[in-house]
Structure 1
Amino acid sequence: MPLMPGAEPYHHEGGQVGVLLCHGFTGTPQSMRPWGEHLAAAGLTVSLPRLPGHGTTWQEMNRTRWEDWYAELDLAFGDLRGRCAEVFVMGLSMGGCMALRLAEVYGETVRGVVTVNPSLAIDVPLLRLAPLLKLFVPSVPGVSGDIKKPGVTELAYTRTPVRAAATLPRLWSLVQSELYRITQPVLVYHSPEDHVVKPESVRILRERLTNGNLEIVQLMDSYHVATLDNEADRIFSGSLDFIRTHASVPLQRD
């Protein structure tokens, strides 16, 4: 299946500190590529995989589910663990949810987590109907491109594959139920003006991560795809500072 130009995965071999970046639902590595390149320039080893069914056609994505997407990240995480002394995981939207799942599963093997507008809850009424809707409608209008910065576009599907979307509630329920397992530092970038993910997800994190490991930074000039928006540089530099604070081995360029 041909890829959309620009949807290719990104990898950079750097030092002993690795970062796994996770893009969002119906999106592609394009939304995370500038972030990955910023971290790579600082000497980090970076892995940004393309999730199955993404970056091709929404019809192909309808043949995949959350377990397929998570399995790809799990494989990439295992590869980084084999090459790096420490690994951080970072993600946008659904990718942020899956980054949190990796932290739940692998414990302190995940050194820290950074998420941007993470998606953890059913806050779109249509998703409640997805398990039934998938029997009648293959796709609905997409949710991509929520960016405030003029002239910037996200490489993502313009249609949301309903059968694939219907698997998301199971992922959210699982991640919510095991948030208590996360003791690593967690940095969340949150856009109050987000037209895709509502504040419920951040509220859940505030309520469940209560051992002092959670930091939330507000992005007042960005929409949902903040990694391509007005405050992208703030995310990039802040995540690098987060790594420098919490890594126990030096970055290659430090």
Structure 2
Amino acid sequence: MIKKYDFLLPGTSRIGVLLIHGLTGTPAEMRGVARELNQAGHTVYAVQLAGHCGSVDDLIATRWQDWYQSVINGAQKLRQQVDHLVVGGLSMGAVLALKYASDFPVDSVLVYSATFRYDGWSIPPLSRFAAPWLLPLAGCFHLGRHRLFNEKEPYGIRNESLRRRIAKSMQEGDSGVAGLPGNPWPSLSQMMALSRNVRRALPQVTAPCLVLHAENDDIAHRRNALLVRDNVSGEVALTLLKNSYHMITIDNDRTELIALTLGFIQQQSEAKNNREPAALRLHTTLSTPA
């Protein structure tokens, strides 16, 4: 069942791409990338994570396992329509994509602005260093249930006109368009638990990974990208983008991101075809409708 803000774009190739948004985010942050991938022939499904695109209460009623189950359900839906699956995500969505790739076979992984820790330059030093022990403690004792770490300038966006539009949408309260205006403490605690789980699982990721990260990410320092590069078992193509902040799927470098993504998917598809036995490739070609 497609949720209100999910969207599925059927393609003509047998490659499917599952796109996953970030914490307090929305599938809309993946729409531009999804359209370009779809125009290249791929079937694209942008999933709405459990508890998202609603109220703060909706979000804090869910745990990271619920968010991950949304990814599993989305992948199952997409696998019914394609032969090859690519999983990708932005921010926490990238962490969820890596989690899925550590548990299930995938063709490749798109890792955009991976966020294991909120340690970018816009995060106050006190929050940066206190959060790792304060939030789990608050979660254990159910403290600060309705407290938020509010979003502040520059909202992960370097493009000033786009930043103004996103800020306006957040202030108007449409979480399905721009996400929530802040991160609830309980949800951040869940995000940290997810991060710990996936960090341990990174060596189990054997699929090739495209890792894209802003060089001057305001939310998650580029060391988050290096963590992926240095710990997954699959091949890694890493690029640091020069003219964006955290939201690289919609910011100034989105054209470069899309070009790198399309090239990576094509390269991995060609490499996979070259590794297949010739008889299997012939059978696949003959059995595919024109």
Give how far 1:130 is off.
1.2
Query: How do residues 178-193 of structure 1 correspond to structure 2 at under 5 angstroms?
Result: 178-193=201-216
What does the per-residue CA deviation read over 1:75-104, in whole Å, with 9 as the maximum and x for residues that have no partner?
Answer: 010111121010101110000011111111
Does the CA-based 8 Å contact 2:209-2:237 persist in structure 1? yes
Separation in structure 2 between the aligned mates of residue 18 and residue 127 of structure 1, nearest angstrom? 37
Is residue 135 of structure 2 the alignment partner of residue 125 of structure 1?
no
Is residue 54 of structure 2 the alignment partner of residue 56 of structure 1?
yes
3-state DSSP class of the match of 1:206?
helix
Does the CA-based 8 Å contact 1:143-1:196 persist in structure 2? no
Q: 1:205 corresponds to which letter in structure 2?
A: V
Match of 2:248 among 223, 226, 247: 226
Does the CA-based 8 Å contact 1:122-1:169 persist in structure 2? no
Q: 1:229 corresponds to which letter in structure 2?
A: D
Q: Identify unmatched segments of 5+ residues in structure 1.
A: none
What does the per-residue CA deviation read over 1:54-95, in whole Å, with 9 as the maximum and x for residues that have no partner?
Answer: 111122101111111110010010111121010101110000
The percentage of counterpart residues that share the same residue type is 27
Match of 1:199 in 2: 222
Give how far 1:210 is off.
5.8
Separation in structure 2 between the aligned mates of residue 245 and residue 56 of structure 1, nearest angstrom? 38
Match of 1:142 in 2: 150
Q: After the TM superposition, list the runs of 4 or more consecutive aligned residues in structure 1 that deviate by more than 4 angstroms.
A: none
Match of 1:12 in 2: 9
Deviates more, 1:158-167 or 1:200-209: 200-209
Separation in structure 2 between the aligned mates of residue 163 and residue 42 of structure 1, nearest angstrom? 39
Q: 1:148 corresponds to which letter in structure 2?
A: R
Match of 2:259 in 1: 237
Indicate the structure whose relative CO is greater, using CA pairs within 8 Å and at least 6 residues apart. Answer: 1
Give how far 1:122 is off.
6.1
Q: 2:6 corresponds to which letter in structure 1?
A: P
Does the CA-based 8 Å contact 2:102-2:205 persist in structure 1? yes
Q: Larger radius of gyration, structure 1 or 2?
A: 2
What does the per-residue CA deviation read over 1:211-246, in whole Å, with 9 as the maximum and x for residues that have no partner?
Answer: 6x0111011100000111000011112111111111
3-state DSSP class of the match of 2:162?
coil
Say what the alpha-carbon RMSD is for the aligned residues: 2.1
Q: Identify unmatched segments of 5+ residues in structure 2.
A: 120-127, 167-177, 274-283
What does the per-residue CA deviation read over 1:188-212, in whole Å, with 9 as the maximum and x for residues that have no partner?
Answer: 111121111123322322321366x
Separation in structure 1 between the aligned mates of residue 138 and residue 15 of structure 2, nearest angstrom? 44
TM-score of the pair, normalised by structure 1: 0.89
Match of 1:65 in 2: 63
Separation in structure 2 between the aligned mates of residue 148 and residue 121 of structure 1, nearest angstrom? 20
Give how far 1:125 is off.
3.0
Equivalent residues, number: 243
Query: How do residues 33-182 of structure 1 correspond to structure 2 at under 5 angstroms?
Result: 33-107=31-105, 110-121=106-117, 123=119, 124-128=128-132, 129-134=134-139, 135-137=142-144, 138-143=146-151, 145-153=155-163, 154=166, 155-182=178-205
What does the per-residue CA deviation read over 1:18-43, in whole Å, with 9 as the maximum and x for residues that have no partner?
Answer: 00000001110111111111111111
Distance 1:199 1:113, change over 3 A: same
Q: 2:245 corresponds to which letter in structure 1?
A: Y
3-state DSSP class of the match of 2:114?
coil
Separation in structure 2 between the aligned mates of residue 210 and residue 178 of structure 1, nearest angstrom? 10
Does the CA-based 8 Å contact 1:21-1:47 persist in structure 2? yes
